[in-house]
Copies of this chain bind each other. A is one copy, B any other.
Amino acid sequence: MKMHALDVRVRYADTDKMGMMYYANHFAYFEAGRIEYLRALGVVYRDLEERGIFFPVAEASCRYMAPARYDDELQVLTWVERLRPTRIDFGNLVIRKADGAHLARGHVLLACLDKDGKPMRMPKEVVDRVEVWEGPPESA
């Protein structure tokens, strides 16, 4: 699996005074995207935490190309751009389903830490199952 697609709809709660999704809320959608990406590989992040494995965010970025408006149906595309022994780089692209327009493109780097906050090796099932991919092309 190179990429996972999650369908979401922009809620009123997510909008701001400009009538579009508040910029920070894209990052919550990215989170939902990567959790479902992992679930599609058979990796349930909640279970990892119960085994004492945590993936806190070390870096996050997003480029906003066009607004996601209230009630828009979106697709959050998620893939893994890079996999290192104690880190995983996710890529995200938010697409408006009505016309396929690219709305936002993001990147989130997660560290793999044990319960004491020390870096640890990525779990074997993540390493074995993830297919690294550079992501869809930049232009819409």
Contacts and interface: CB of A to CB of B under 8 A. Distances in A.
Interface of A: 9, 11-13, 15-20, 22-25, 27-28, 31-32, 35, 44-46, 49, 54, 56-64, 67, 70-71
The majority secondary structure among interface residues of chain A is mixed
A19 B22 contact: no
Contacts of A70: 17, 46
A16 B19 CA distance: 7
Counting chain B CB atoms within 10 Å of each CB, the highest count among A17, A25, A57 belongs to A17
Contact of A67 (B32, B56, B62): B56
Contacts of A71: 35, 44-46
A63 B58 contact: yes
Contacts of A64: 56-60
A6 to B, nearest CB: 10
A22 B17 CA distance: 10
